[in-house]
Amino acid sequence: VTDYVRRTINDDRVNVTQFTTAPSWESSPLSPASGRQWDLVEKSIKQADPAAVVTPYLTVGATDARYFYDISDNVYRFTPYHANQADIKRFHGINERIAISDIGTSIRFYYNTIVNAQEDTLQ
């Protein structure tokens, strides 16, 4: 990341220093936002929540996704629930939770993903 920032700024007058007190990893590679695997995830999301807008986004922070890049170029981070500002403040903290109303949507998403992946494999 530090090298990317230096190349992007491209100005010798700017000193870029990495500052961290926590373990760090290289940024994850980009997963394609098109193709068979993306379409499967998008279909599963829309089946679970037809009003959802499916779009790529940046996940900030480390996830377990980094362990899957050795087996696939299509690693998507997705949480099948709605999160407002109050929810986000509770992530990995006191009283972390998702709304009861989102549990059904989450189950539908994971169920649809499994069924859709099986159907895709059989085609």
Q: Tell me, what amino acid is at 99?
A: A
- What span, in angstroms and rounded, lies between the C-alpha atoms of 9 and 7? 6
DSSP 93: S
Q: What is the pTM of this model?
A: 0.71
Both tokens assigned to 83: 């999160």
Q: What is the pLDDT of residue 25?
A: 73
Residuewise pLDDT in 10s, the chain (123 residues): 788 899 999 999 999 887 766 667 777 888 999 999 999 999 999 999 999 999 988 777 778 888 898 999 999 888 888 888 888 888 888 888 888 988 999 999 999 999 999 998 877
Alpha helices in the chain (DSSP H): 2-9, 36-48, 85-90, 100-122
Q: What is the pLDDT of residue 93?
A: 84
